[in-house]
Amino acid sequence: MFAELSELLGDSVERPPQGKLTLLGATKTDASFLVHHFLSFYLKAGCKVCFLALLQSFSHYSIVAQKLGLSLTSAKERGQLVFLEGLKAAQDVLFSKRQESAEPHPFQFISGDGSNLKGLYDFVRTALSPAVGGDSWNCPVLVVDDLSVLLSLGVKPTDVLDFVHYCRVTVNSQLKGSVVLMVRDSDDSEDEENELLAKALRHQSNRILWAEGLATGFCKDVHGQLTIVRRGSWEEKAERDLQQVYQYKIQDRNVSFFARGMSAAVL
Chunked mean pLDDT (size 10), the chain, 267 residues:
93 93 93 96 96 95 94 95 93 71 78 82 94 80 94 92 96 96 75 91 95 83 92 61 92 89 60
Q: Residue 162 has what pLDDT?
A: 96
Q: Residue 186 has what pLDDT?
A: 64
Q: Residue 264 has what pLDDT?
A: 60
Tell which phi-psi region holds residue 233, choosing left (phi > 0), alpha (psi between -120 and 50) or beta: beta
Q: Which of 150, 214, 232, 215 is nearest to 183 (CA)?
A: 150
pTM over 0.85: yes
For residue 166, how many other CB atoms are within 10 A of its CB? 17
Q: Residue 187 has what pLDDT?
A: 61
Q: Residue 100 has what pLDDT?
A: 56
Q: Residue 267 has what pLDDT?
A: 46
- Quick check: bond before 146 cis, omega within 30? yes
Q: Which helix (H) or strand (E) holds 125?
A: helix 118-128
Q: Residue 1 has what pLDDT?
A: 83
Q: Residue 252 has what pLDDT?
A: 86
